[in-house]
Structure 1
Amino acid sequence: MEADIFEYHREEDKVDLESFHGEKQKLIQPTSLKDPKLEKLKEVLVNWINNTLQPEHIVIQTLEDDLFDGLVLHHLLSRLAGVHLSVEEIALTSIAQIHKLEVILEELDKRLQDSFTIKWNVKLIHNKDLLATIHLLVAMARCFQPELDLPPNVRVEVVVVEVSKSGIKSDVQTEILTQKSVAGSDSLSNTEGDPGEDPIEQLLKLEAHKVNTVKKAIIHFVNQNMSNMGLQVSEMDKQFADGVILLLLIGQLEGFFIPLHDFNLTPVNPAEMLHNVTLALDLLNDTGLQVSSIDPQDIVAQDVAATLKVLYALFKKHKGK
């Protein structure tokens, strides 16, 4: 069986075992390459990349062949995180491509290593390693666009190969590409607890990383809709406490203008902040969103649950538009 595995990869994938002397490499089993779940994940990632980079007229066909030179990753990092690196646009030689990938992955790893185990490196990406490429893209999607609906519970069988002076050792393992439950906004509907309990209250009982994932999804949604006004949110509880961004977001999403004399654009005391938040909640109730149970004072006091409830109501109504 072991000989058959290496014969397959030698002919189809042209794996250079000498280049991995003293290292471990993971090779996806041929049967797993045909798994419909893996194919669906690849399709979703390709479509996500193409949709993200559509304004730049960049289109990829496959993950295996179109990300190794750093061009696509460079533009993804720029579009998703607003990071602009000083690297050449098109790297033609292997040396230039590897250098470009080093710069890009160094920046990406800084942003991903706190939330994800790093399962990729420059060598793997440049060698068109499908497993490492998918791990990297899934981590980027979870970090920068956590509302993206990735197929859950995608797993593949891999052969872990170790080349040494004494020969080749191999072991078959299962590699997890996506978790059982979809992270992002769907986490709110997957929480356990009293069916009648508010979804935000359920969410706040979960592990901190799940709460943070949903927060990132909502913040991304807010920033997408506020970008044309030159505003950006990074601290959900603090930046909505005075009601200004909340009012501007409501006007942007609901398509109406709130006269500046109706609220305090630069509130200087709690009373003015409370006026703004109260107006925002009244407007939401008028549009049919059920937020009457939320106390405006709680948002002014930077209560996370209250702020999340309001933003989630907007997110749920407008995220697909």
Structure 2
Amino acid sequence: MEVDDLNEQKNENLQEEKIKMIQPTSLKDPKLENLQETLLDWINSTLKAEHIVVQSLVEDLYDGLVLHHLLGRLADVHLPLAEMALSDSAQIHKLEAVLGELDKRLSPTEPKWSVHYLLSTLHLLVAMVRHFQPEMELPSDVTVQVVMAEVGAGGIRSRVQTEVLTENRKNSENLTGAEGDANPMEQLLKLDTGKVDTVKQALLDFANANMVGLGLQVSDLEKQFSDGVMLLLLIGQLEGFFVPLHDFTLTPGDHAQMMHNVSLALSFLADLGLQISAIQAQDIVAQDTEATLKVLYALFSKHGRQEEMMSALL
């Protein structure tokens, strides 16, 4: 089973560790295999003049050499590092230096980049293509089934979720405006007030349709999602997992508890690969309309029916 080092965090008191594992069936998915081949071809064509040939996305990137050369070709960045790192400590130093340089150029809200396992490597390479060569087409709608396991003093808790590696191109093209906004919701919010209200209603209907099984109903998007409870429950309903009650506050009584709830929800969305990089937890808590709609749209773009949103624009 493929194991990724996602957020391998240990709490000194609770000794809790979070581990992400790709299910073996996903590794055989033709879409995933196509994405890997596309990224290998991209690396090799980019570095052809340097006579570098990569055969494995995991085994050939672990020491930072290939990434360093990619950084040089794509961003004209040449770090003062030895070409060949001969010791483990030198390899670690080189890789950390290169990944640190990439952190400055890629989304600062992403988890710390890694290339030790396939999943983290794919996320990094897709982000590099999107940033340095956005005109390049990657295979569309590539997802993997992932097991999230938490190991702590109380035992092992796990849940299965779908993680997005590349978005559905058709849906993205349908909802991206002529100006090519990175976030389609930003384009929608530029419409007249009447159409924005229609879009809000479409997202409200989407939320309620998925909350009915819990006997809950949303009537005020900004207010009812501001404490994070409804958002966590909605994510759980859509992704098919239960968020343990001890992980969040069901009835938050202060700003700190609300911030914790919303931050947890946003971390789930980031783990799912949804486009929420510009959204801050404090904006959701402050009942900011734009931030709230962007979060709901990110979920809608994965689980909703795009024709419903398109009808709101007519």
Tell me the TM-score normalized by structure 2. 0.52
Partner residue in 1 for 2:181: 207
1:115-142 CA deviation, whole Å, 9 max, x = no partner?
xx42443xx42xx211100000000000
1:153-178 CA deviation, whole Å, 9 max, x = no partner?
10000011222233222111111000
- Aligned to 1:65, which of 50, 59, 64? 59
The reply to whether residue 138 of structure 1 matches residue 126 of structure 2 is yes
- Flag the structure with larger Rg: 1
What's the offset of the Cα at 1:82?
A: 0.5
Tell me if the contact between 1:120 and 1:135 (Cα under 8 Å) persists in the aligned partners.
no
1:207-247 CA deviation, whole Å, 9 max, x = no partner?
3557xxxxxxxxxxxxxxxxxxxxxxxxxxxxxxxxxxxxx
Tell me if the contact between 2:149 and 2:156 (Cα under 8 Å) persists in the aligned partners.
yes
The reply to whether residue 101 of structure 1 matches residue 95 of structure 2 is yes
What's the offset of the Cα at 1:14?
A: 11
- The size of the alignment, in residue pairs, is 180
Partner residue in 2 for 1:32: 26
The reply to whether residue 150 of structure 1 matches residue 144 of structure 2 is no
Change (3 A) 1:45 1:14: closer
- Aligned to 1:167, which of 155, 160, 163? 155
Partner residue in 2 for 1:118: 110
Change (3 A) 1:45 1:208: closer
1:87-117 CA deviation, whole Å, 9 max, x = no partner?
1111132211111111111110111125xx4
Give ranges in structure 2 of 5+ residues lacking alignment.
Answer: 185-314
Change (3 A) 1:98 1:160: same
Identity, in percent, stands at 56
Q: Distance in 1 between matches of 2:100 and 2:133?
A: 20
Q: Distance in 2 between matches of 1:182 and 1:26?
A: 29
Partner residue in 1 for 2:42: 48
Letter matched to residue 55 of structure 2: Q
Letter matched to residue 131 of structure 2: C
Give ranges in structure 1 of 5+ residues lacking alignment.
Answer: 1-8, 194-201, 211-321
4+ aligned runs moved over 6 Å, structure 1? 12-15
Change (3 A) 1:165 1:26: same
Change (3 A) 1:87 1:182: farther
Q: Distance in 1 between matches of 2:91 and 2:106?
A: 22
Change (3 A) 1:71 1:43: same
Larger RCO (CA under 8 A, 6+ residues apart): 2
Tell me if the contact between 1:119 and 1:132 (Cα under 8 Å) persists in the aligned partners.
no
1:294-317 CA deviation, whole Å, 9 max, x = no partner?
xxxxxxxxxxxxxxxxxxxxxxxx
Tell me if the contact between 2:141 and 2:166 (Cα under 8 Å) persists in the aligned partners.
yes
1:29-50 CA deviation, whole Å, 9 max, x = no partner?
0000000000000000000000
